[in-house]
């Protein structure tokens, strides 16, 4: 299957300091690729190169002739004194009210059409940004920390939505994450970056790779969600027998700072 975007041997330096060295990366339709790595690993720089906002110093980049990119930034600061409503925000990307409403409906927040952007919760804000990315009818979605500022229950719902969009649109998805738990159940391939590609493969392969263990420790537990529980009205996690899950056995805890 032809790649939507393919990077070979990409390098980038700032003030003679190497930020990326000989990075290979490719994203194909219908596949979710997640970048993880410590702070300063070069993830943001790599995303900017993928988006065409930065030029690589070395290596090659091949983009599909019909590439259409939808970008969801990590966060967006809106001055709380600015009376900007959700529908007006989307109009910066599309002047079609019907398309804007359909995008909001797809991400589950059509009822917030007239809501002030500064009044949105973390999860609502991320869904609005995702709706804006969908307006470009992308075949490649680039999502930078898509669950930033979202509680654990909301994170799982967002990752599920992202997977549904991948299936519906048959788009490729490049996702940046600091999460070592829920994201592992939501991706097909993991690329562990630390200026160079330390390791890559399926979540199961990467989690036991010596370079991954050296970076993040051998006690990191990866979470695979089997949907054998549900959340009650008080957001407690219930197992299949209806009992509250023990906190030490819950997938909702653990380290997330990657």
What CATH number did the domain enclosing 146 receive? 3.40.50.300
pLDDT at 1: 76
181 and 211 part of one domain: yes
As given in the structure block, the two tokens for residue 55 are 């030029």
61 and 82 fall within a common domain:
no
The rounded distance, in Å, linking the Cα atoms of 246 and 75 is: 33
pLDDT of residue 75: 76
Residue with tokens 């190497």: 18
Q: Are residues 118 and 155 in the same domain?
A: no
User: Look-up: residue for tokens 């050296």?
Assistant: 214
What is the spatial distance between Cα 89 and Cα 149, in angstroms, rounded to a whole number? 20
Q: 243 in a domain, yes or no?
A: no
User: How high is the mean pLDDT of the chain?
Assistant: 83
Residues 198 and 94 in one domain: no
Is 62 a domain residue?
A: yes
Same domain, 155 and 99: no
pLDDT exceeds 60 at position 202: yes
Assign 107 to helix, strand or coil.
coil
3-state helix, strand, coil in the chain (%, to 5): 30, 25, 45
Nearest partner of 166 among 197, 133, 191, 190, judged by Cα: 133
Same domain, yes or no, for 55 and 152?
yes
Residues 94, 61 within the same domain: no
Asked if 174 and 140 count as a contact pair (C-beta separation under 8 A), the reply is yes
Number of domains in the chain: 2
The parent domain of residue 119 ranges over: 76-131
238 within a domain of the structure (yes/no) = no
Q: Note the pLDDT tens digit of each residue in 117-166.
A: 989 988 899 999 999 999 989 999 999 988 888 888 888 889 999 999 99
The crossing angle, in degrees rounded to 10, of helices 122-134 and 152-169 is 10
The pairing of strands 140-144 and 230-231 is unpaired
Residue-wise pLDDT for 57-86, tens only, equals 999 999 999 999 999 988 788 788 888 999
Whether residues 214 and 152 share a domain: the answer is yes
* 63 in the same domain as 80: no
**In this structure, are 107 and 162 located in the same domain?**
no
């Amino acid at each position: 299957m032809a790649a939507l975007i393919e990077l070979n041997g990409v390098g980038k330096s700032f003030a003679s300091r190497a930020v990326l060295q000989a990075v290979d990366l490719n994203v194909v339709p219908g596949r979710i690729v997640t970048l993880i790595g410590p702070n300063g690993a070069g993830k943001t720089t790599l995303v900017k190169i993928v988006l065409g906002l930065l030029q690589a110093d070395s290596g090659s980049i091949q983009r599909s002739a019909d590439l259409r990119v939808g970008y969801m930034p990590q966060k967006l600061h809106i001055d709380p004194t600015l009376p900007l409503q959700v529908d007006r925000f989307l109009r910066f990307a599309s002047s079609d009210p019907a398309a804007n409403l359909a995008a909001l409906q797809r991400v589950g927040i059509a009822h917030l059409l007239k809501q002030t952007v500064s009044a949105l919760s973390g999860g609502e804000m991320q869904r609005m940004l995702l709706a804006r990315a969908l307006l470009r009818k992308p075949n490649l979605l680039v999502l930078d920390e898509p669950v930033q500022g979202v509680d654990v229950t909301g994170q799982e719902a967002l990752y599920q939505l992202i997977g549904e969009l991948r299936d519906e649109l048959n788009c490729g998805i490049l996702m940046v994450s600091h999460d070592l738990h829920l994201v592992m159940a939501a991706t097909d391939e993991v690329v562990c970056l630390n200026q160079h590609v330390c390791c890559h493969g399926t979540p199961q392969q990467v989690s036991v790779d010596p370079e991954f263990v050296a970076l993040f420790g051998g006690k990191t537990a990866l979470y695979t969600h089997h949907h054998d529980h549900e959340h009650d009205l008080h957001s407690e996690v219930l197992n299949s027998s209806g009992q509250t899950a023990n906190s030490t056995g819950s997938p909702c805890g653990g380290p997330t700072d990657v």
